[in-house]
Amino acid sequence: MADERSELIASEIRAWLARRKLTQGDLARHLGIARSAVSVRMSGARDFTLVELMEIAEWLDVTLADLLGPEILRTRRSPRTELVGAGASEASEKLLRLDSNQQPFD
């Protein structure tokens, strides 16, 4: 059974291919893989690699975020991602506010 996220990504890629009037065969040639390998990825049975997604986005002249689509970008974040910025605002408030024309100390 295909993962829902893989299906969403494949759906976005399919939409971008259609917008650019390109086919899965064109995509296969660009990636240097067999048409059947693209078909397996587009069915969601196998995931695209990050490198493949980056290559596709560049080829289609879209951002990786555009290629992934809004559904993927709205997925629930890990609770640990909230910790990354924890305390950053407090620390920045404690830093000295430097003048734009700072001179070295003698």
**pLDDT for 40:** 93
Average pLDDT over the chain reads: 80
- Top-confidence residue, 11 or 93: 11
Instruction: Determine the Cα–Cα distance for residues 31 and 38; give it in Å rounded to an integer.
Output: 9
What is the mean pLDDT of the segment spanning 64-86? Answer: 70
Instruction: Determine the Cα–Cα distance for residues 60 and 41; give it in Å rounded to an integer.
Output: 17
Q: Which domains does the chain have, with CATH numbers?
A: 4-73 (1.10.260.40)
**pLDDT for 1:** 47
Instruction: Determine the Cα–Cα distance for residues 12 and 15; give it in Å rounded to an integer.
Output: 5
- Per residue in 3-27, pLDDT (tens digit) is 788 888 999 999 999 999 999 999 9
26 contact partners, CB below 8 Å, separation of at least 6: 17
pTM (2 d.p.) = 0.67
Phi, psi of 64 (to 5 degrees): -60, -35
